[in-house]
């Protein structure tokens, strides 16, 4: 046994030594990139470049390592290299243990300073004020739809979208003891309660459900009160030392949430990009049809269309539209130029790489 292992481990040691050397060579190059950027005041975090590196890794991967695992490794390598240039601060909806925090690490890797905020409003404020370099805010959930507060604040603030990240959302029912004995209330964010309602109706139809500010907040409450169970991620459960009553209780097993990376950075084209817009039209017949006609004319695909009341008392709406491509692409630029002429209101929220 030992004799068979020893030569294999010696080879692994030799490769690790090479990897160590290569990683530090890479880090020194990133430091040089950092000096060039400092001279030209160019931004350190470049989402389009990171997306290209990660896509390139998947495209060239001969296996047996899985693409997703290699991308996790390379994301961390870039995160560590980036932090030698400058460590970025990212605001998110806290406390620690929320899916928003998970989204921060999914996008930026571990070498980042997270800034937990008490509300989505606070994430926008910290990012707008420059307290954080970027913010991570939930945009939509695959089962519950748009996060309205985020949409409203994207319209109202000067931040733009620099990137997006989509993460699977798995909810667990947890309590301080890991059982439901003595539990009278289940706490969670209203979205999480909605995402687990069929399961809750089936298994605990008579236990009170209480909406709180975040799932992590619910986990904190459950950790100090045995009458409270929380619905949250297992990561939050570990953080607050909860026992799992039942994992994966979300009604949709493929439940995901899409987060936007907000900031002041206009991201360059990566080759596979998306552009988010907010539009409004006068309230008359055919107006929305006419508004969007330039997209079809220039062959630009629309991937999302969401409406929000304008909240000015009349039946007027803002339309949140995602299209394929980058504002620097010629066809997109031409389509938007024409579309702008038909719109009563027009704002580009940002062009950014499609999430992996």
Ligand X SMILES: O=C(O)C(=O)C[C@]1(C(=O)O)C=C[C@@H](O)C=C1
Residues that bind ligand X (CB under 6 A): 30, 33, 45-46, 49-50, 53, 78, 81-82, 85
Closer of 78 and 193 to ligand X (Cβ): 78
CB atoms within 10 A of CB 226: 15
**DSSP secondary structure letter of residue 39:** H
Q: Which is nearer to ligand X, 53 or 333 (CB)?
A: 53
Report the alpha-carbon distance of residue 139 to residue 163 in Å, rounded: 12
Residue 130 Cβ, how far from ligand X at the closest point, in Å? 19
CB of 265 to ligand X, least distance (A): 10
CB atoms within 10 A of CB 347: 16
Candidates 180, 182, 174; CA nearest to 232 is: 174
Q: How far apart are CA 34 and CA 26, in angstroms?
A: 12
Question: In the bound complex, what is the minimum distance in angstroms from residue 30's beta carbon to ligand X?
Answer: 5
DSSP state, 87?
Answer: P
303 is catalytic: no
User: What CA–CA distance (Å, rounded) separates 106 from 165?
Assistant: 7
Cβ burial of 316 (10 Å; 0-12, 13-18, 19+) is middle
Q: How far is CA 182 from the centre of its chain?
A: 36
| Residue number, nearest CB to ligand X | 81
The answer to whether residue 257 is catalytic is: yes
Minimal distance, residue 195 CB to ligand X, in Å = 33
Of 98, 257, 267, 275, catalytic: 257
Instruction: Compare residues 85 and 217 and give the one whose CB is closer to ligand X.
Output: 85
Options 108, 124, 259, 319, the catalytic residue: 259
**Which residue, 53 or 96, is less far from ligand X as judged by CB?**
53
Q: Which residues form the catalytic set?
A: 257, 259
């Amino acid at each position: 046994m030992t004799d068979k292992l020893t030569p294999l481990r010696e080879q692994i040691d030799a490769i690790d030594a090479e990897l160590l050397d290569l990683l530090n060579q890479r880090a020194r190059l990133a430091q040089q990139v950092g000096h060039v950027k400092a001279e030209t005041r160019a931004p350190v975090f470049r989402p389009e470049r990171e997306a290209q590196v990660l896509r390139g890794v998947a495209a060239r991967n001969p296996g047996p390592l899985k693409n997703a695992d290699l991308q996790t490794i390379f994301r961390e390598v870039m995160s560590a290299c980036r932090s030698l240039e400058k460590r970025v601060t990212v605001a998110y909806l806290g406390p620690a243990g929320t899916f928003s925090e998970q989204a921060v690490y999914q996008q930026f890797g571990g070498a980042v300073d997270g800034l937990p905020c008490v509300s989505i409003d606070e994430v926008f404020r910290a990012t707008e004020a420059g307290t954080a370099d970027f913010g991570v805010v939930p945009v939509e959930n695959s089962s519950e739809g748009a996060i309205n507060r985020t949409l409203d604040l994207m319209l109202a603030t000067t931040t733009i979208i620099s990137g997006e990240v989509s993460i699977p959302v798995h909810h667990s029912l947890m309590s301080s003891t890991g059982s439901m004995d003595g539990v009278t209330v289940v706490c969670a964010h209203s979205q999480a309660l909605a995402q687990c309602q069929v399961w809750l109706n089936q298994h605990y139809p008579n236990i009170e459900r209480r909406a709180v500010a975040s799932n992590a907040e619910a986990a904190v409450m459950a950790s100090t009160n045995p009458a409270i169970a929380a619905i949250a991620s297992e990561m939050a459960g570990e953080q607050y030392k909860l026992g799992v009553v039942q994992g994966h209780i979300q009604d949709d097993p493929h439940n995901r949430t899409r987060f936007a990376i907000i900031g002041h950075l206009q991201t360059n084209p990566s080759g596979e990009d998306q552009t988010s817009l907010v539009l409004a039209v006068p309230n008359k017949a055919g107006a929305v049809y006419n508004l969007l006609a330039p997209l079809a004319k220039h062959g630009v695909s629309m991937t999302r269309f969401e409406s929000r009341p304008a909240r000015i008392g009349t039946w007027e709406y803002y339309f949140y539209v995602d299209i394929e491509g980058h504002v620097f692409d010629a066809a997109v630029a031409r389509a938007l130029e024409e579309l702008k002429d038909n719109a009563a209101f027009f704002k580009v929220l940002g062009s950014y790489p499609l999430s992996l």
